[in-house]
């Protein structure tokens, strides 16, 4: 198959073109590390991932194997086809300079929004990047509806694999959050493998 | 004050211009009726409500008094300033022709997306309308993360009041869902009051 593994160093992001039928495997290299996954359709980069359309059409907030990520236009973009962890997040979106200022009073903190926006801009994607699939992020919903950011359940080598349903532009960031339990208080690397199945 | 009440008949929608500082009171006329509330900034209609930025920055999925609805660019759009019910939804977005086909196999069912898109298009808002604040909608999150649509807790005359933080284009629909408990199996009217506070 000749699958190449791309390492995304801690606190950085990478953009990829993924063709329909290819799979994107997101690997937590050292464990307890979140990867924000953003995507837009290759044919129209304004058609981006929608967290709310995805919660609506799956009727679920914790996504795992069999669930589908949808666009703002209700088109299937990615299907989760394998998952060694079973806990990922869709409700916290991408961290941003704004969220670090609001929560921690910190200015100009590196963020998934900033990192993803920078690597996706050359592909024609607008920099807002509001909604992301946050692989390995552990955000339980309490009975009162409040959200908390807990240490990820992922260990070194754990992965989640998504199959592209249409040609996509995908951004993956190794989340730089170091002021919460998001990445076990220690941001590390993420790896990505893009594979073409034999029958594709 | 001279506040005018606008009735939105069952299965229809209306668009409003709401100025910064004005309040929008959404009233459940007969009880157990959902109103989908969509908004975009008046200065740039592409800057729309983001459900995920809103769950992220409030760290909550059930919104009530004190919570803020944010745009895709992380700008505060509306603040909930009064709420006689305490249960509304943000995770189910707008129902769409797609969601009725997917869930019930029904073609061309009227939907909040269609109704809101039609009344907002003349104001320059794109028709996708993915994310909405669903006043009175009762969507509990189960411990396993699954969502269910239950009968609203609202009774006749209940209301939720939102203050505009910037000049807004707002769409409000009386949700036409009649194939689930969403509106107590019986879609009815919604009323809206837009008020300018004495000190605004």
The secondary structure of chain A as a DSSP string is --PPEEEE-TT-EEEEEE-TT-EEEEEESSBS--EEEEEEESS-TTSBB-HHHHHHHHTBSS--TT-EEEBTTS-EEEEEEEESS---BSSS----HHHHHHHH--SS---HHHHHHHHHGGGT--TT----EEET-B-PBPTTSBB--B----BTT-EEEEEESS-EEEEEEE----SSGGGTTS---EEEEEE--TT-
Residue of B nearest to A130 (CA): B72
Q: What is the pLDDT of residue B24?
A: 98
- In percent, how much of chain B has pLDDT > 90? 95
Alpha-carbon distance B15 to B37, whole Å? 10
- How much is the average pLDDT of A117-134? 95
Q: How would you classify residue A179: left for phi > 0, otherwise alpha for psi between -120 and 50, otherwise beta?
A: alpha
Whether the predicted pLDDT of B114 surpasses 90? yes
- Please say whether the beta carbons of B190 and B14 come within 8 A: no
Residue in B52, B99, B128 closest to A73 by CB: B128
Whether the predicted pLDDT of B69 surpasses 50? yes
Q: What is the pLDDT of residue B12?
A: 98
Shortest Cα–Cα distance, A172 to chain B (Å): 18
Alpha-carbon distance A6 to A18, whole Å? 14
- Judging contacts by C-beta atoms under 8 Å, the chain A residues touching residue B99 are 56-57, 74
Residue of B74, B96, B147 to mutate for A, most A C-beta atoms under 10 A: B74
Shortest Cα–Cα distance, A51 to chain B (Å): 6
Spatial CB neighbours of A58, under 8 Å, sequence gap ≥ 6:
A67, A68
- How much is the average pLDDT of B37-43? 98
- In percent, how much of chain A has pLDDT > 70? 98
Whether the predicted pLDDT of B199 surpasses 90? no
- Judging contacts by C-beta atoms under 8 Å, the chain B residues touching residue A98 are 57, 74
Mean pLDDT computed over every residue of chain B: 96
Query: Tokens representing A61?
Result: 């907030």
Query: Tokens representing B107?
Result: 């073609």
Residue of A nearest to B90 (CA): A52
- Judging contacts by C-beta atoms under 8 Å, the chain A residues touching residue B96 are 74
pTM above 0.90, yes or no: yes
Rounded to 10 degrees, what is the CA torsion of A149, A153, A155, A160?
A: -90
Unique residue bearing structure tokens 């962890």: A85
Shortest Cα–Cα distance, B147 to chain A (Å): 5
Task: Give the tens place of pLDDT for each residue, B88-106.
Answer: 999 999 999 999 999 999 9
- How much is the average pLDDT of A173-180? 97
Question: Is A44 within 8 Å of chain B by CB?
Answer: no
Task: Give the tens place of pLDDT for each residue, B44-60.
Answer: 999 999 999 999 999 99
Residue in A55, A73, A93 closest to B53 by CB: A93
Q: What is the pLDDT of residue B1?
A: 47
- Judging contacts by C-beta atoms under 8 Å, the chain B residues touching residue A145 are 60-62, 141
Q: What is the pLDDT of residue A198?
A: 80
The DSSP letter of residue B156 is: T
3-state secondary structure of B74: coil
- Judging contacts by C-beta atoms under 8 Å, the chain B residues touching residue A92 are 52, 55-56
Q: What is the pLDDT of residue B16?
A: 97
Query: Tokens representing B185?
Result: 């199996």
Say yes or no: ipTM exceeds 0.85.
yes
Q: What is the pLDDT of residue A185?
A: 97
Spatial CB neighbours of B199, under 8 Å, sequence gap ≥ 6:
none
Q: Do A141 and B141 touch (CB under 8 A)?
A: yes
């Amino acid at each position: 198959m000749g699958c190449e593994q791309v390492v995304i160093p801690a606190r950085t992001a990478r953009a990829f073109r993924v063709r329909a039928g290819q799979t994107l495997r997101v690997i937590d290299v050292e464990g307890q590390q979140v990867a924000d996954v953003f995507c837009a359709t290759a044919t129209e980069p304004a058609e981006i991932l929608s967290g709310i359309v995805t919660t609506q059409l799956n009727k679920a907030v914790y996504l795992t194997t069999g669930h589908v990520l949808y666009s703002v236009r209700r088109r299937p973009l990615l299907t989760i086809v394998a998952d060694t962890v079973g806990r990922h997040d869709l409700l916290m979106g991408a961290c941003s300079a704004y969220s670090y200022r609001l929560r921690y009073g910190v200015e100009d903190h590196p963020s998934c929004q900033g990192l993803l926006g920078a690597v996706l801009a050359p592909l024609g994607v607008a920099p807002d990047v509001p909604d992301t699939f946050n692989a390995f992020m552990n955000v339980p919903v309490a009975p009162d509806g409040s959200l908390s950011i807990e240490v990820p359940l992922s260990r070194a080598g754990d992965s989640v694999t998504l199959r592209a349903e249409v040609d996509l532009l995908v951004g993956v960031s190794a989340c730089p959050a170091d002021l919460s339990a998001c990445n076990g208080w220690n941001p590390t690397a993420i790896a990505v493998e893009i594979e073409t199945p034999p029958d594709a």
